[in-house]
Amino acid sequence: MKKQITVVGNGFASMFFIGYFLAIPAFPIIAYFFRRIYSRYDITVIGNGKFIYFPAIPEFITKKRNKADITIDIRPFLRRRSIRFIEGVVIDIQDGGRTVITHDGEYRNDYLFIGIGPAFRKDDIPGTEDYTYSPCYGPDDMDGFVKKLESLSGGVIYVGYKINRRDGFVAGRPGPMYECA
């Protein structure tokens, strides 16, 4: 019996995880049929179907890229690999991770991978929400940043990252902000 794997999210982490279960095909057509016949896993991905290529977001500032340039529909990629795709939002996980519940139904699994990325909170420092932009928030936030940047005639822009000392975390990944700078 095939093991059921449910992957929540369709970003970098999820696609990297799925890659572990797929043989690198020398001939993609043959791999398509081979995977349908032989695979030991049934993989289901729950997400929005849009893969955002985050490393290109800093290029918004120089107008080399925009949201359409970095958004990729992953459904054909998954279909070619016989991976089931469910467009939806997970609203609950039950039974110790064995049941994933969306608005459209329940999905049972033997293994669960959650690749939804970090959750950012702009309201940690009062008064900064209206003036905080980050490539990590996605292309919509960077579009807002570029529009705000173009409207400035002068001023100071602070570039940095947040450290949550309460968690004992004393280092962060400032890369995207410094790339934008």
What are the tokens at 42? 């049934």
- 43-93 residue pLDDT tens: 999 999 999 887 787 788 888 888 899 899 999 989 888 899 999 999 999
Instruction: Note if the pTM is more than 0.85.
Output: no
Q: Are strands 99-102 and 3-8 parallel, antiparallel or unpaired?
A: unpaired
30-34, 67-71, 97-101, 165-169: range with lowest mean pLDDT: 165-169
Give, in degrees to the nearest 5, the angle at Cα 94 between 97 and 166: 70
